[in-house]
Structure 1
Amino acid sequence: MIRLLALALILVALPGRAAPSPQEILVASDAVRNPDFPFGLTNTLVEYRQGRQTESSTLAIYSKADPAGGQFRSLVRYTAPARDANKLILFNGKDMWFYDPSSKASIRLSPQQRLLGQASNGDVVTVNFARDYQAVAAVEEDTQDGDRQTRRCHRLSLSAANPDATYHRIEMWVDVANARPLKARFYSESGKLLKTAYYRRYQPIFGVQRPTEMVIIDGLESDWVTVMRYSDWTRREVPEAWLQRDYLPRFKPE
């Protein structure tokens, strides 16, 4: 993974090389966010309204890339609150299913549906943006990151490349120096700003500095904020059976 990331960064930053294409910048930012091997982590979501915590959820996430298309497939298990424990969400790169062990029923979900606060179902699963979006423009400019520090960035304009993409259009700011994604704005098909996200708290994960927090702000109500924190990263096998809808009733957490 480190060698792949190094290659991506060379493509973006090599002196004397022609300016990287928008898609190359997007690929490099994906390599910063995501390992290229199967892994697990804990995602803790906390919703705030007017500065006060209103709700929270904790999810165990198991992800691996599809060898055919490269997009991640994920199994998400609720661990908290207690009322939701062991409910499952399966995302196989194309379809998304919700399974409730109490009813033993699985229902199809949309990645655009909200899971908690401003976090949609599509936000909590691992995603390679370069697989679902085409970067059609890149402009260098200064912007403030999630800590209000000014950074020189590539501002990418991303258009959905297939109907399964969670958002119609995304603007993303990627640090010129190291390809780290810093900020993104997500838009509906009508052009409405749905939310703004900041990628923060970079820490060494599997030998690479990766964001361990995502702060999501509603497009209309700026005091409606959802924070996603990633922890307990581990390299692990994700059995193919876990990523099949028919297996959901038999899944047992380790």
Structure 2
Amino acid sequence: MSKQYALLVLLLSFTAGLHAHPALEVMDKMRLGTSDREVKVMTEIRLYKKGELESQRDYEVYVGSNRRSLVLFRSQAEAGQKMLMLDDQYWLFMPSSRRPLRITPMQKLLGEASSGDLSSLRWKDDYTVISEKQEGQKWVLELEAARSGVTYARVELLVDSDSLHPQQADFYLQSGRLAREAEFMLEKRQGRLVISGMKLQDRIQTNEQTLILYHSSEPVDIPERWFNPAFLSRETL
């Protein structure tokens, strides 16, 4: 994609306001393999302290339509736990209780990784691009949360001006405070460039780093009952 063509696409999309911004479409497809189908993403979170692996967790993330997702906790330390996202609402299901716990998208899971980081993977549904500027070979996009239940109120996203591939992001809270910084990890799989993970860094805990790794993604048909809190409260998946 030439710089001139990329610029034209960006400006037309931004001014029309009818479709998701192309950079967000590119991000979703690079992470999920598709921007529309239901997908299962095998995910791992790693916490490093002073360069050494401190802790690790495995998850199956089922990304549905209409801002719905289900996270199954697969590590022994969290066995039997489930997390459900329905639009702006989040629930955590514990195997020891029939009553789910209401949580927020900022609920910490491990290190800097939060419940929203893990479950909300379609940025085209979550954010609106409100401004953009070019800095050398990069585009800096300012993203605003499209609804109240989105993890971050604002995101500054850095993408390559030719390919629109994401490179870095700064995540801000409603208060305006910078919550964390992220670097996108890109990798070629089966001849296609994908987002293989994110490196999350807290400016205060500089000796810690959290990696969210996307090991694989595949289209699936998610049973409708999996998005029913009553079903999840009594069933083991």
State TM-score, norm by structure 2: 0.86
Between the aligned partners of 1:101 and 1:186, the Cα distance in structure 2 is 32
Other structure's SS at 1:194 match: strand
- Is the Cα–Cα contact under 8 Å of residues 60 and 74 in structure 2 kept in the other structure? yes
Match of 2:92 among 87, 98, 110: 98
- Is the Cα–Cα contact under 8 Å of residues 64 and 238 in structure 1 kept in the other structure? yes
User: What's the CA shift for 1:119?
Assistant: 0.5
Structure 1 window deviating more from structure 2 (173-182 vs 17-26): it is: 17-26
Query: Mind listing any 5+ residue stretches in structure 2 that lack a counterpart?
Result: 15-20
Structure 1 window deviating more from structure 2 (113-122 vs 18-27): it is: 18-27
Between the aligned partners of 2:142 and 2:198, the Cα distance in structure 1 is 20
Match of 1:149 in 2: none
User: What's the CA shift for 1:16?
Assistant: 8.5
Match of 1:216 in 2: 200
The sequence identity of aligned pairs, in percent, is: 26
The 1:155–1:100 alpha-carbon spacing in structure 2 relative to 1, beyond 3 Å, is same
User: What's the CA shift for 1:13?
Assistant: 6.4
Between the aligned partners of 2:182 and 2:162, the Cα distance in structure 1 is 20
Other structure's SS at 2:23 match: helix
- Is the Cα–Cα contact under 8 Å of residues 242 and 251 in structure 1 kept in the other structure? no
Between the aligned partners of 2:7 and 2:163, the Cα distance in structure 1 is 17
Match of 2:72 among 74, 77, 81: 77
The 1:162–1:79 alpha-carbon spacing in structure 2 relative to 1, beyond 3 Å, is same
User: What's the CA shift for 1:184?
Assistant: 0.5
Query: Mind listing any 5+ residue stretches in structure 1 that lack a counterpart?
Result: 1-8, 143-151
Within a 5 Å distance, the mapping from 1:57-76 to structure 2 comes to 57-66=57-66, 71=67, 73-76=68-71
Between the aligned partners of 2:23 and 2:40, the Cα distance in structure 1 is 26
Structure 1 moving runs of 4+ over 6 Å? none
In the alignment, does 2:173 pair up with 1:188? yes
Between the aligned partners of 2:149 and 2:107, the Cα distance in structure 1 is 13
- Counterpart residue identity of residue 78, structure 1: F
User: What's the CA shift for 1:74?
Assistant: 1.1
In the alignment, does 2:113 pair up with 1:115? no
Within a 5 Å distance, the mapping from 1:130-141 to structure 2 comes to 130-141=124-135
Match of 2:45 in 1: 45
Aligned-residue CA RMSD (Å): 2.3
Other structure's SS at 1:14 match: helix
The 1:223–1:97 alpha-carbon spacing in structure 2 relative to 1, beyond 3 Å, is same
Other structure's SS at 1:31 match: helix
Other structure's SS at 2:60 match: strand
Match of 1:147 in 2: none
Match of 1:204 among 173, 189, 195: 189
Between the aligned partners of 2:8 and 2:128, the Cα distance in structure 1 is 22
Between the aligned partners of 2:170 and 2:186, the Cα distance in structure 1 is 19
The 1:90–1:176 alpha-carbon spacing in structure 2 relative to 1, beyond 3 Å, is same
- Is the Cα–Cα contact under 8 Å of residues 89 and 99 in structure 1 kept in the other structure? yes
Other structure's SS at 2:215 match: strand
- Is the Cα–Cα contact under 8 Å of residues 217 and 223 in structure 1 kept in the other structure? no
Match of 1:55 in 2: 55
- Counterpart residue identity of residue 219, structure 1: R
- Is the Cα–Cα contact under 8 Å of residues 201 and 208 in structure 2 kept in the other structure? yes
Other structure's SS at 2:40 match: strand
State TM-score, norm by structure 1: 0.81
The 1:208–1:65 alpha-carbon spacing in structure 2 relative to 1, beyond 3 Å, is farther
- Is the Cα–Cα contact under 8 Å of residues 29 and 174 in structure 1 kept in the other structure? no
Between the aligned partners of 1:108 and 1:192, the Cα distance in structure 2 is 24
In the alignment, does 2:19 pair up with 1:14? no
Other structure's SS at 2:133 match: strand
Match of 1:32 among 30, 33, 39: 30
The 1:107–1:178 alpha-carbon spacing in structure 2 relative to 1, beyond 3 Å, is same
